[in-house]
Amino acid sequence: MKERFAFKEEFEPVVNIGENVQLFPLKNKKTEWKYVKVLYIESLPFLLHNFGVIAAGAVAQVEFTQLYMDDNEFGQFRVIPLVDDLTLNQLDQPRASRRWVTRNSNWQSLYEFADPRMNPMMEKFHLNEIFQHENDGLWVVPSSIAGVANGLFGCYGFRYVFEKLDVKPAVFTPIPVRGYRTTIKE
């Protein structure tokens, strides 16, 4: 059986039809965490999204609704800047739950132009991979050092349709679909 995990360098579906997923950190009263079985997968070849004019040093947070999924669906996406000097400076999923952070730092997406013929860093775009559960909030801060006239990002990925499970499966692939901070103190 092929090894399954999120953020692989080569972009492929994180699971196959019939496989189980833990949508972490979503909760379920019966199984503690939310577990689902994938019923259907399809590719989402390319979405061009323009955040519009982005002024130098702008920090406006915007909702990224173009990646929202229907009920009983989740998406796996790579989000890449298509113009120089453009990045996602913040990712919140949902709005009050930051992603791409450590205790003392806020991280950002890669700046590199996403053309593997021109840029060897293209292989690192697995670091810009995100998972979207249904229509849970997804908020980003597109940013530019010098400012850009068109804040163009490309997105591609996979759409998964699932059924909820009432019993924790013996085998599953964990997928992070929200920001998470532990509250456990030792």
What are the chain's domains?
46-155 (2.60.120)
What pLDDT is stored for residue 185 in this prediction?
47
* Range 38-56 average pLDDT: 92
* Range 102-120 average pLDDT: 54
* Of 104, 121, 99, 101, nearest in space to 112 by CA: 121
Confirm whether pTM is higher than 0.95: no
What pLDDT is stored for residue 96 in this prediction?
63
Model confidence at 90, pLDDT cuts 50, 70, 90, reads confident
DSSP E strand boundaries for the chain: 20-28, 32-50, 62-63, 73-81, 87-92, 98-99, 129-133, 139-143, 152-164, 173-176
pLDDT, averaged across the chain: 79
**Any idea which residue has 């979207």 for tokens?**
132
What pLDDT is stored for residue 184 in this prediction?
44
Going by C-beta distance under 8 Å and a sequence separation of 6 or more, which residues neighbour residue 128? 78, 79, 80, 88, 109, 110
pLDDT greater than 80 at residue 31: no
- 137 φ/ψ sector (left φ>0, alpha ψ -120 to 50, else beta): beta
For 156-170, write each residue's pLDDT tens digit: 899 999 999 999 999
Check if the beta carbon of residue 94 is closer than 8 Å to that of residue 44.
no
* Range 31-45 average pLDDT: 92
For 137-163, write each residue's pLDDT tens digit: 888 888 888 888 888 888 889 999 999
